[in-house]
Amino acid sequence: MTETIRVFAGDCTITTDGDTKQNRRGEMVAILKPDDTLLVHDIDGYQPVEWLTRAETTHASLDGDTFTLVAATSDRRVRVDCHTGYGISRYPGSKAGIPVGTCPHCDGALTRAKGAVSCLGCRREYSIPRNASVGGDSCDCGLPTMRVERGAEFELCLDRNCGTVLEAVQERFDREWDCPECGADLRILRRGGIIAGCDRYPDCETGFGVPNGRIVDWCDCGLPVFRTRTGRRCLATDCEEFGSEGLDE
């Protein structure tokens, strides 16, 4: 479903209630966004003359060419009453993102924004890991690939139907490491995030989150050492054997 931005223009009075209470009148443009944010602009400067971000309730009523807009939270209320209307319209809206390719389904532009790659044409959306890089190569399905570091670097399609990060990490590291508590194999599983959990669970509840980063060494405890964006660390975040080795070089 396409989200829309609603635009209202006219000679209006703005009434605010809350920390301050005041009335202002002028020829303005009001923008009501899909996340229930209300912005009211006049001709002065770049900042809205009034706004309410992500209101708890919004209401728009039309009367011929005029309109009334109300946006409210628990402690603030903004009301826009139009005396003479100049125009009311709707426009498709999306998040502004970094271009990363072309959609193979509709030839629309693919953009990356806030943890997802979206098509501006058919509106398909593909969630991606936070630290993934996108662009450059393409999958056989036509979508761009992403590079993800989870122990090793993996190049995967944006579409999970072509393969997931979990499947790639499982294929590479499942049963590769031993449990430091009981010696059993560590299995690669999803428990919220991707973890390396003891094969003897629930008798042994040892488990470690697999971090973003590459394996660059081995810790004295027998587990791998990862280089992450914040430095070197053992798979076990509380490892006493790792000690000062955790400082980045």
Residue 219 in this model has a pLDDT that exceeds 60: yes
Query: What mean pLDDT is predicted for residues 134-140?
Result: 87
Query: What mean pLDDT is predicted for residues 189-204?
Result: 93
Query: What mean pLDDT is predicted for residues 10-23?
Result: 86
The mean pLDDT of the chain is: 91
Confidence class of residue 235 from pLDDT cuts 50, 70 and 90? very high
Residue 246 in this model has a pLDDT that exceeds 70: no
In tens, the pLDDT along 83-110 reads: 999 999 999 988 899 999 999 999 999 9
Question: 15-19, 30-34, 70-74: which has the minimum mean pLDDT?
Answer: 15-19
In tens, the pLDDT along 147-170 reads: 999 999 999 999 999 999 999 999
SS3 state of residue 244: helix
Q: What is the pLDDT of residue 166?
A: 95
Q: What is the pLDDT of residue 29?
A: 98
User: Max alpha carbon distance in the chain (Å)?
Assistant: 77
Domain with CATH 2.70.180.20 in the chain: 4-92
Burial class of residue 92 in the structure, from the number of CB atoms within 10 Å of its CB (0-12 exposed, 13-18 middle, 19+ buried): exposed
Residue 72 in this model has a pLDDT that exceeds 60: yes
SS3 state of residue 183: coil
Q: What is the pLDDT of residue 19?
A: 62
The C-alpha atoms of residue 42 and residue 22 are separated, in whole angstroms, by 16
SS3 state of residue 80: strand
The four Cα atoms 212, 218, 219, 221 give a dihedral, to 10 degrees, of 110
Assigned CATH for 4-92: 2.70.180.20
Q: What is the pTM of this model?
A: 0.72
The single-letter code of the amino acid at 243 is G
Q: What is the pLDDT of residue 20?
A: 64
Q: What is the pLDDT of residue 115?
A: 87
Sorted by sequence, the CB contacts under 8 Å of residue 125 that are 6+ apart come out as 116, 117, 118, 119
